[in-house]
Structures are given as structure tokens and as C-alpha cells.
Structure 1
Amino acid sequence: MQIIEIKKQALNILDGIKEKLFSLSCDFYHNPETGLKEFKTSAACVSMLEEFGFKIDRGVAGMETAFKAAFGNGRPAISLLVEMDALPEIGHGCGHNISGLASIGAAIAVSKVISKIGGSIVALGTPAEEIGVGKIAMIKAGLFNGLDAAMMAHPSSKRMVSRVFLGLIRLNLHFKGKPSHASAYPEEGVNALDAVIQTFNSINAMRQQLRSYVRVHGIITDGGAAPNIIPEKASASFYVRAKDLDELYSVRERVLNCARGAALATDCELTIEEGADMNAPLKLNKAFADIYRRQMEFIGLEEDDFPMDKNAGSSDIGNVSQVLPTIHPHILLKRGINIHTREFADATITEDGKNAIMEGAKCLALTAVELIMDREALEKVKTDFEISKG
């Protein structure tokens, strides 16, 4: 059967489940669950996929809310990532109730045509994106082994196929000094808060020599017990971000040297606590992006003209892109509002939210169909990935 006919069938299937997808997305909005606690969300996703005949593995990679839902047999095996977690207080201000349902919709649409095209479609429920651990744990557990490509689509105020994601390293710095009465005997104390403040000052002085896309930002997590006590303990937490791994590690070392110098200058002891896993930069794949872009054009959508490296963040999707070809396009929710806001969350349950789910689901489903049916296109995607590894 011709690829155009298969694509039209997939689109018709999505039109038939549109209201069901949107209703579930609204349920997630009204019942937001944070990372690794997406119990009801995960159960609802699994229930819908199970209803459409997917084989389900629950609680994979040691996470209760993670799941693998597979349909079909053999290769190519295309993965759709289902993000589920909400933000504390803000709820679904990152729109995972949109992106997750777009992936589920796409997976269902492809499953309905897969007997005609071969291969398999795998929906992976990836918890805790906001704390950057879910996909990393699933990589380590081998959930991405045997897959040919991975993708998802994220809601945004813009429509973009390729977007830079910075690598991210988390650092917690703990300084220990010596307490003393701040007025009567200040000379007998060693001020741990001074070390924290000096660390911030040194990092701020370093910024002039950092590239424009490098980010270092932090907060004081412990500043002492009371103003009349020289702080015995003080701590700060920093995020270090950069476009590539070499620069990420280089800036990390410079930040740590700022802390070491501050400890030396203030006579404090320094303990460095580093996050167990970094978020890797997203490895862009032009051939893969071009396939997705063709599907946008197929359903009459145009990409916005916006620099791909502007307003960059970080995500554990970058780690996935280091092990197999990956794309993370941005679908349009509503212009003029930014992610991680209540306004963004509220937009997900409007007609704009329904349209965003359908945009993502349709483009992802059509991309999966093309990857499965056009082996030459898939080989180009794999070649791009191998070249990017150097």
C-alpha cells in the first residue's frame, strides 16, 4: 500500500480519538502529579494503551510510574516518549499533559496501521522529566536497546522542529566553619556564609569570560541559624549548563575552583555533592528533523522563524539523543505565553490545548510511518547519528 494512503488512515484514526485524548489531558491538568509520583497519570496512560491492544510492562527501570507499551513485531522499532510529571504548585505549566497525550495518540494511530507496514511502535512512559532522572534510569535499564529512533513533541509558544537543549550538571556545595557569638567573639568564628558569598562573587566575576550560551545559576540553600551566630554551616546549589560535553565539564571545573578558592580564603572546609547523573546536551539530527518537517507540511503547518539556540533549557531527552537518533520538536500551544507559568498550564485545557495534542500526535504518527516504510530515510537518520558521534 502507498505511504500516502497509510498516512491518511493514521490521520483518520487520530481524528476518531481526539476527544478521548483531550479529555484525558484535562484530567491530568486537574490532578497534577510531580516527578516519580505520577501514579494516577501513569495508570490512566497505561489503561488507554492497553485498551488499544498494547502489551504493557509496568514499573520498569525500578520506577513505579514508568512503563513500556509495545505493539507489533521486529524492526524498525520506533519509540514515542510519554512525559507525565507536573511542576510543584504550578501544575502542568510545562504541558506534559499535552506532550504525553500527543505521544499516546501517535502510538495508537501507528498501531492501527502497523499490520500493513511492519515494524513495531513502543510508547515509553518516562517519569520525572522536571528533575531529570526518568529517561536516564530507563537508558541504564536497557529500555532503549533495540530501538531505531525516539521522539516526542513538546508544547510551546512557537512551532519549531529543532531546538538546542543544553547539558546540565547539578552541584551542591557545603561549607563548614566554626560558630561563635557574632558580636562578643566574632574573631573566634569561621564564617561559612562568607565562603558561600565569595563563591557567588567569584562566579559572577567569571561570567565575562563565559560564552553567551553558557549558564551558571544558583541559590543559597543554608545561610546560617541566626544573625547573632557566626554561621558554622552554609550551602549553595548551582546548575551549570553548556551546549557540548567538553565545555560543560570545563565550566563545571571552573565553578568548583571558585568554591575551592572561597573555602581557602575563608578558612572553611568544602564538601562537594554532585548530582548522580547529568543531563546531556541534545544531539541534533538533521535528517530526522527534515522527516518531521515534511509531515508538518503534509498537514498544512509552517515552522516559525526563530533561532534554535535562543531561550535554551535542559532535559533528560538529551541523554536519549546520545544513545539513538532523537528529535524533540516544539508544537504550538499559544503564542505570547511561556512555559512553567500558570497561564501556560491553563492554556492546555482550552481549544488551543486540543489543537496542540492533535498537531503533535499527527506529526509524530506520520513521522513514525515514514521511518518504518522508507528504509532509505531511516538509514540517513542513522548515518546522521553516527556522524554526530564523531
Structure 2
Amino acid sequence: MSSTLDSVLDAATGDLVALSHAVHARPELAFEEHFASAATADLLAGGGFEVRRGVADLPTAFDATYGSGELVVAVCAEYDALPEIGHACGHNIIAASAVGAGLALAAVADELGLTVRVLGTPAEESGGGKVLMLDAGVFDDVSMAMMVHPGPFDIAAARSLALSDIAVRYAGREAHASAAPEWGINAGDAVTVAQVGVGLLRQHLRPGQQIHGIVGHAGTAPNIVPGSAEMFYYLRADTAEALADLDRRARGCFEAGAVATGCTHEIVTVSPTYTELTPDPWLVAEYRRVAGTLGRALVPEEFETSRPFGSTDMGNVTARIPGIHPVIGLDSGGAVTHQPGFTTACITESADRAVVDGARALARVAVAAATDPQQRSRLVEGTHERTVRR
């Protein structure tokens, strides 16, 4: 079985690397990934997959399917980039490795009774494409879901944080800052007060809680009292419960800015809330074993959860469906994700190797689950139970 997977991936390596480099060369932001989505889906269509584009009313989402077995294996492809620094999170690698895993599994789908689905999931960095696809029912019949994410190290059971993505908007009143300042209500000052409150709050956060943000705008000229201002903040925590606690406390800081200055304010949810990753223990253990056979030096288990790598909407998937989201390491020259140096690292020889190794590892994990009677039964029955409850 492994020889079949390896043969398919060996033959497809050139196409997979070309896809990774092409997506990297044309970075596209959330929900604008038209080139990346089409290129990824086209490669699957050329491999015999039936591709539905624009699923869940998202123009850059797709669902590519091969086979009709009772065990439904979904591999998630991400392909959105970051503003200004492009693919500094390596989603070009994620897309290419997902295609590789899908093509390899398609070669054994009939023999193993699989339905192989590669899901094009837009807007992971901001927008929550997977959450929207979950809510639209795209994952309803999935038995297990997988993806692999690049990073500086190999991690089988990566830890992520729950995330709330919000905008805080203040409305005041413009006035001449010198001739009639008493007529103004300063929205920029509301931002300042709120940020001071947030800064003081940080001392008293629970372990695992984080808050960070930027000012979108807070005025247009020094001689005009700012009549409007906007901040963008991420709130993060180890669990959804801890995130709700942080949200309550942060809202007090944002309200303080309005109260102190006489502004009005509103807090707007920018993206769906992301849940923390809860990877399936058996699938994680199998990925750890498989990655080891590929020569991957994984971080020891005792260190896996010592530091979160950020947040991901794959957490919402793993909260409902058995799944994994390991990190596959590449030589980044000391750079970490969301740094320009990591953007450069994502089209190196090491990155190309991560594409193929990631595809190979995911495919072997799926085969192991399909050929283990106990795990296969668990995954298939779990799908049926979710369907009945729905």
C-alpha cells in the first residue's frame, strides 16, 4: 500500500512543487484567492477528482471528491496570504501537500473503501472559511479531517488558542483643534484611554490569555479633533471558556474609552470565533509514528503544548470531527511564521521537501485508519452519530 502512495507522489512531485511556487508567487488575501483556488482545484480535476467550486456560497472554496467508500477522509487546503508579507505562513505548502495527499489516497480509494475529499478552505488568516463551511454543512459526512501546516519545527500535536477577531469603533465630533477644541469630542483620545486600559489589564490576565491589536485610524490632521476612530484587536485564550472571560474584561477597557471622552462606541465581530485545536489522539499518535519513519525529527511530546503557534479555524473542525493539524518543519534560517524571512523560506528546497513529506504522511495516516478495523469502525460510526443528532 505504501508503495502505491509513494509511486503516485513521486510522479506528482513536479506538479505539487510547481503549484506551491505558483501560489507563493501570487499571494492573495482572504476570500480573494481566485488564482490559488483555481490552480489547486484544477490539479485535482486533472487527477480524476469531481470538483464543485464556490461551495458554501464562498467563491474561492471548493470540494473535490474521489471515490464512494463509507470512510470519508477530508484533507483541507489553505491558500490565503497575509497583507504585505505574502505567504509568511506557508499556505502555499498547505495547498500543495493537500493535493498530494488527495492524489495518493485516490489511488487506493476503491481498494480501501474510501471517499477522498480535498476541501479548498479560504480565509484562514482572517475570515474563518472553515467555520463558514462547517455551518453550511460541507463537513457533515466527513469521518476524519487532516491538514499539515509548515513551521520552523515538526510538531505532531500542535497547540492553538481560541480566537476572537473584533473591531472597536468610536464616534465623536470633529472641531477645529485650536480655534474651537471645546466643541470637539475626541475619538482618538477614546482609543488612547482604551489602550491604556488594555495595557493595565495585561498584568492580570490568566495564563494562556492574550490580547493584541492595532489602530486602524484615529484622525486625519493635527488641527482637526478626530470625530471617528477604529481599532482592530485579537483576543486569544487556551479555551473557549477562558476566551469568553477575556472578552468580558476587554470590553470594559473599550467602554472606558467611550465613557472618558463622551464618545459612543460599538464592537463588531470581524471573523467567526476560532476554537482551540483538539486533535484526535489516535490520529496524532499515528502521524507521529509515520513522520518518524520519514526521518522527521519531531518535537518531544512533553514540549508539544509548551507554546501555542497561534490560532486556526481548523480548531472548529477538530471540535466536531476527529482530525489532526500537525506542523511540518522546514529550514527557515531562524525565521518564524509571519516574518518576511519565513515567506522566503517557503519556496526553498526544504519547503519543497515539506510539501511531499506532508502529503506522504497524511496519506499514510489515512491508510492506517482505513485498515485498522477498530479505528475505521470508530470513525465511520462517529459520522453516522453526528448525522443522526443533526
After superposition, the C-alpha distances for 1:267-287 in whole angstroms (9 at most, x for unaligned) are 221222222511121123222
Q: Tell me the equivalent position of 1:141.
A: 136
- Is 2:338 aligned against 1:340? yes
Q: Tell me the equivalent position of 1:374.
A: 372
- Is 2:361 aligned against 1:359? no
Q: Tell me the equivalent position of 1:3.
A: none
The change in CA–CA distance for 1:35 and 1:271 in structure 2 (over 3 A counts) is closer
Identity of aligned residues (%): 35
Cα distance in 2 between the residues matched to 1:225 and 1:354: 46
After superposition, the C-alpha distances for 1:89-121 in whole angstroms (9 at most, x for unaligned) are 322221111111111101111110122111211
Cα distance in 1 between the residues matched to 2:147 and 2:346: 17
The change in CA–CA distance for 1:28 and 1:189 in structure 2 (over 3 A counts) is closer
After superposition, the C-alpha distances for 1:41-90 in whole angstroms (9 at most, x for unaligned) are 22222221112111111111111221111111132111000111222332
SS in 2 for 1:273: strand
The change in CA–CA distance for 1:350 and 1:108 in structure 2 (over 3 A counts) is same
Q: Tell me the equivalent position of 2:26.
A: 31
Among candidates 310, 322, 325, match of residue 325 of structure 1: 322
Name structure 2 gaps, 5 residues minimum.
Answer: none
Q: Tell me the equivalent position of 1:193.
A: 188
Q: How does 1:150-161 map to 2 (within 5 A)?
A: 150-161=145-156
After superposition, the C-alpha distances for 1:121-156 in whole angstroms (9 at most, x for unaligned) are 110011121213211121121110111110100111
- Residue pair 1:132, 1:316 contacting (<8 A) in 2 also: no
Say which is worse superposed, 153-162 or 314-323, in terms of deviation. Answer: 314-323
Q: How does 1:252-267 map to 2 (within 5 A)?
A: 252-267=247-262
After superposition, the C-alpha distances for 1:273-328 in whole angstroms (9 at most, x for unaligned) are 22251112112322221111121133333312344241431111111112211211
- Is 2:6 aligned against 1:11? yes
SS in 1 for 2:125: helix
Q: How does 1:42-121 map to 2 (within 5 A)?
A: 42-121=37-116
Letter in 2 for 1:204: G
- Residue pair 2:163, 2:275 contacting (<8 A) in 1 also: yes
The change in CA–CA distance for 1:39 and 1:118 in structure 2 (over 3 A counts) is same
Cα distance in 2 between the residues matched to 1:118 and 1:381: 13
SS in 1 for 2:223: coil
- Residue pair 1:129, 1:135 contacting (<8 A) in 2 also: yes
Cα distance in 2 between the residues matched to 1:51 and 1:372: 25
**How large is the Cα RMSD of the aligned pairs?**
2.1
- Residue pair 2:161, 2:308 contacting (<8 A) in 1 also: no
Among candidates 200, 209, 212, match of residue 214 of structure 1: 209
Q: How does 1:174-323 map to 2 (within 5 A)?
A: 174-305=169-300, 306-323=303-320
Cα distance in 2 between the residues matched to 1:259 and 1:91: 31
Q: How does 1:164-183 map to 2 (within 5 A)?
A: 164-183=159-178
SS in 2 for 1:44: helix
User: 1:16 offset after TM fit, Å?
Assistant: 1.9
- Residue pair 1:285, 1:381 contacting (<8 A) in 2 also: no
Equivalences, count: 381
- Residue pair 2:166, 2:271 contacting (<8 A) in 1 also: no
Cα distance in 2 between the residues matched to 1:147 and 1:59: 19
Cα distance in 1 between the residues matched to 2:37 and 2:96: 11
Say which is worse superposed, 361-370 or 189-198, in terms of deviation. Answer: 189-198
Output the TM-score relative to the length of structure 2.
Answer: 0.92
SS in 1 for 2:73: strand
Say which is worse superposed, 229-238 or 147-156, in terms of deviation. Answer: 229-238
Cα distance in 2 between the residues matched to 1:111 and 1:384: 23
